[in-house]
């Protein structure tokens, strides 16, 4: 961890705030899993930076709810490729630090856009995985559910063992609504308020991802962004640390535990 003088001072300022805090709200995106080796494609990760896939459609269309319903083989083809690229990866030090913070602070919640399940695997309990988990399968016809380690042994597309309907991952595809129960949980926690808010490794382009940081500003609560790039919330937060998630969090946690 080679921080310049400015970043070291920012980390110390964040830690001073943390030591006065009882509650923390984290927002995480693809950047927190980058150190686990996961690709980061415009939200999925480096896999499909071209405008179209080999099927002549954008990856967003291939991974759209409508395509899943109408051409499930196409959606599952690209899902399986993405899963294969992520196979064997696991949580990194950034996920573990957030899980450790849950043991130290009175109230810690994580809102994540990621569908890799790494926060839960690292030991975090209070996770709102707003976009779901790609390792959880469900049948939209009969309600059958199951968890899988990977897609290696799945038929493409996989069929429900109970009713033979095509199953899907329990994730939010492009063009689909966010799950009501998770949105309700998010707003219940945000209504309680937090002492400090973090945005980590996310482009913050979705309103519901940027909103907690905007709320922090409205409530005059301390906010931090950890991201090498500039995002819509970069000029709103109190502290911007332009580093990768694992590097910055390791620096913060090391300073906190001195």
Secondary structure string (H, E, C) spanning 13-43: HHHHHHCCCCEEEEEECHHHCHHHCCCCECC
Exposure letters 10-26 (e unless 16+ CB within 10 A, then b): bbeebbebbeebebbbb
Classified as helix, coil or strand, 64 is: strand
Decide: 212 and 25 in contact? Cβ < 8 Å.
yes
Catalytic pick among 131, 135, 165, 218: 131
Q: What are the residues whose beta carbons fall under 8 Å from the beta carbon of 221, sequence distance 6 or more?
A: 193, 194, 195, 196, 197
Q: Has 119 been annotated as catalytic?
A: no
Peptide bond into 157 cis (omega under 30): yes
| CA separation for the pair 38, 45 (Å, rounded) | 7
Answer left, alpha or beta for residue 212, where phi above 0 means left and psi between -120 and 50 means alpha.
alpha
The closest of 126, 110, 147 to 33, measured between CA atoms, is 110
* Enzyme catalytic residues: 131
């Amino acid at each position: 961890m080679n921080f310049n003088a400015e970043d070291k001072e920012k980390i110390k300022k964040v830690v001073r705030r943390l030591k006065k805090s009882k509650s923390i709200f984290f927002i995480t995106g693809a950047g927190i899993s980058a150190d686990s080796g996961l690709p980061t494609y415009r939200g999925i990760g480096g896999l499909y930076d071209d405008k179209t896939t080999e099927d002549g459609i954008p990856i967003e269309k291939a991974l759209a709810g409508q395509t899943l319903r109408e051409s499930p083989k196409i959606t599952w083809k690209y899902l399986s490729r993405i899963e294969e690229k992520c196979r064997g990866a696991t949580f990194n030090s950034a996920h573990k630090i957030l899980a450790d913070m849950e043991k130290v602070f009175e109230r810690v919640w994580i809102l994540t856009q990621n569908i890799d399940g790494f926060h839960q695997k690292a030991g975090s309990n209070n996770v709102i995985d707003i976009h779901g988990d790609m390792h959880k399968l469900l049948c939209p016809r009969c309600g059958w559910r199951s968890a899988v380690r990977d897609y290696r042994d799945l038929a493409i597309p996989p069929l429900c063992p109970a009713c033979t309907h095509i199953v899907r991952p329990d994730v939010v595809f492009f063009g689909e609504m966010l799950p009501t129960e998770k949105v309700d949980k998010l707003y219940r926690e945000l209504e309680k308020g937090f002492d400090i808010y973090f945005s980590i490794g996310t482009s913050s382009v979705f309103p519901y991802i940027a909103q907690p940081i905007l709320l922090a500003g409205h409530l005059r609560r301390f906010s931090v962004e950890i991201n090498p790039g500039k995002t819509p919330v970069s000029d709103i937060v109190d502290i911007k640390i332009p580093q990768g998630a694992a590097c910055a969090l390791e620096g913060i946690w090391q300073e906190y535990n001195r």
